[in-house]
Structure 1
Amino acid sequence: MSVHDHGTPAATLPPAEDLFLHAAGQRLAATRVYAPDGAAPDVVHLHGFGTTASRHAVRYLLDDLAAHGHSSLTFEYSGNGESTGELERATLRQRRNESLAAARLLDEDRRPVLVGTSMGAHLAAWTVPDLRPRALALFCPAAYPDSEADVRFGQERAKPGPYADSPAFAGIRAFDGDLLIVAAEHDQVVPGSVIDAYFSHAVQARSRRLIRLGCDHFIHRWLPAQAEQRREVLGALRALVTGSLR
């Protein structure tokens, strides 16, 4: 096992295990973050688009969940971080398949919790029919049209928007668990209409909660240093993960 430094004293960090998972010929770097009882993860994080996207950016969220009894998995898509592959050749559909491969490492006895950031939120919602999550936590969630599924990232691509045919909205319409959305008031990537669309399509959700923060799109760079807002979000995420077990 190896533990990474994410701004928390080493003595207080939960145990973490680095590993690789395999999907369609690619080797994806991953980390399991363990609760004290060593339980299998039932939470997975799906990161967003960008050359600097990393599985470690949300450790402040996952370490807190571990301290409160919930193990998790975070990984890097092909073309990012320590994973193999080329970012320019990746597609949304490929990343969806990699998300499903990662989910196979979760606790089979519990419906999972999917935590998605930006593009990862689109992917989390898209996988709802397959994974049947008990809860979704979406940070600055993007949405893309159905026509983008097989467009390579190195090509010209559609910007995030409230596309009626988005696979994310089709997935969220089928979602029957608890929904938390954390949005940025100054998001320069995802229009506010996308947040509204996620909520309007979540017609079967058992509960819905929206937190708006005074930051830009890159929420995980900003939030860890904001004591009050961080407490609010960590508390909301803990309540979501624990409460959705009811």
Structure 2
Amino acid sequence: MMLSPFELSFQEHVLKGDCYPDSCDTLVMHGAGQSSRARFVKLRQALFSRGVSSAAFDFMGHGETGGQLSESSLAHREAQALAVIKTINMKSTRLIGSSMSAYTAIKLTALIEVQQLVLLVPGIYTPAARNVRFGPVFSNIIRVENSWYDSDAFDTLQQFKGDIVIVAAEQDQVIPLPLVERLYAAASQAQSRVLSIIPNASHLNLFPTQQDFEQTLDVICGGKEG
């Protein structure tokens, strides 16, 4: 099925994205760096084949949306995502956040009702970085060893009552395993929780095999972890 493109005026920019027509129930959010929604075409197509209709957009400074990263921040990304959710009128809410957007997804659970939270190679951040524009100052803050340890993401997750799926990479050189384990522990009030650590996977190659990919889809769509 063809995707329907959408545009959303946001402050002085135009956020560009697309969604499957009819009932959209999932928002997929990409990470930082050179990432964009294009990175998740395969995942979204596979989810759609299992009955999960999704939307995705390019954050400011990325993909078709363009603009300068230096005009955005973690707090700004939250506002962008919330604006998209309201605009496309999602029927129910599943959030899939990858890397930096895992933090965005977690923060959104305090603002809207989220039924399922899916965090892929999740990055989280100290509150000191939340309102700092992306650039050298932001990078210096988050590069301090264990800067994530006082993240407000943990307190937010302690209040989450939906289903949570955390997918980590065994050989992730960006996201340390103690961070992932602490996220899982923080989600103690979740209706259900799954932590899947994919063998031989890395931060940029989360699914080394098709079996890894299919098993993750099973977990997201309510199946058993492989």
Q: CA deviation at 1:170?
A: 2.5
Percent identity between matched residues is 28
Matched, 1:217 2:200: no
Q: State the alpha-carbon separation in 1 of the partners of residues 135 and 194 from structure 2.
A: 35
Paired residue for 1:227, among 195, 210, 213? 210
Answer whether contact 2:26 2:90 (CA < 8 A) is retained: no
Which contiguous aligned blocks of 4+ residues in structure 1 show a shift greater than 4 angstroms? Answer: 106-109
Which amino acid in the other structure matches residue 113 of structure 1? R
Counterpart mapping for 1:25-174 below 5 A: 25-32=12-19, 34=20, 38-50=21-33, 52-110=34-92, 112-156=93-137, 157=139, 158-159=142-143, 161=146, 163-174=148-159
One-letter amino acid matched to 1:188: Q
Find the counterpart in structure 2 of residue 22 from structure 1.
Answer: 9
Aligned counterparts of 2:159 and 2:81: Cα–Cα separation in 1: 18
d(CA) in 2 for partners of 1:167, 1:61? 29
Distance 1:231 1:86 in 2: 36
Given residue 164 of structure 2, which amino acid in structure 1 is its aligned partner? L
Moved more, 155-164 or 127-136: 155-164
Cα distance, 1:45–1:187 mapped onto 2, change above 3 Å = same
Letter of the aligned partner of 1:129 in structure 2?
A
- Residue identity opposite 1:215 in structure 2: A
User: Which residue, 162, 186, 189 being the options, matches 1:201?
Assistant: 186
Query: Please, what is the CA RMSD of the aligned residues?
Result: 1.8
- Paired residues in the alignment total 218
Separation in structure 1 between the aligned mates of residue 90 and residue 35 of structure 2, nearest angstrom = 28
CA separation in 2, counterparts of 1:89 and 1:228?
40
Correspondence for 1:5: none
For residues 189 and 49 of structure 1, the distance between their equivalents in structure 2, rounded to whole angstroms, comes to 12
Residue 65 of structure 1 deviates from its aligned partner by 1.7
Aligned residue for 1:131, secondary structure, equals: coil
Structure 1 portions without partners, runs of 5+: 1-13, 241-246
Using the TM superposition, give the Cα deviation of residue 194 of structure 1 relative to its aligned residue in structure 2, in angstroms.
0.9
Structure 2: which 5+ residue stretches go unaligned? Answer: none
TM-score (norm 1): 0.82
What is the CA deviation profile of residues 79-122 of structure 1, one whole-angstrom value per residue up to 9, with x for unaligned ones? 00111320123211111100111111344542x00000010001
Q: Over residues 1-31 of structure 1, what are the superposed CA-to-partner deviations in whole Å (9 max), with x where a residue is unaligned?
A: xxxxxxxxxxxxx321122122222211101
Q: Which moved more, 1:117-126 or 1:59-68?
A: 59-68
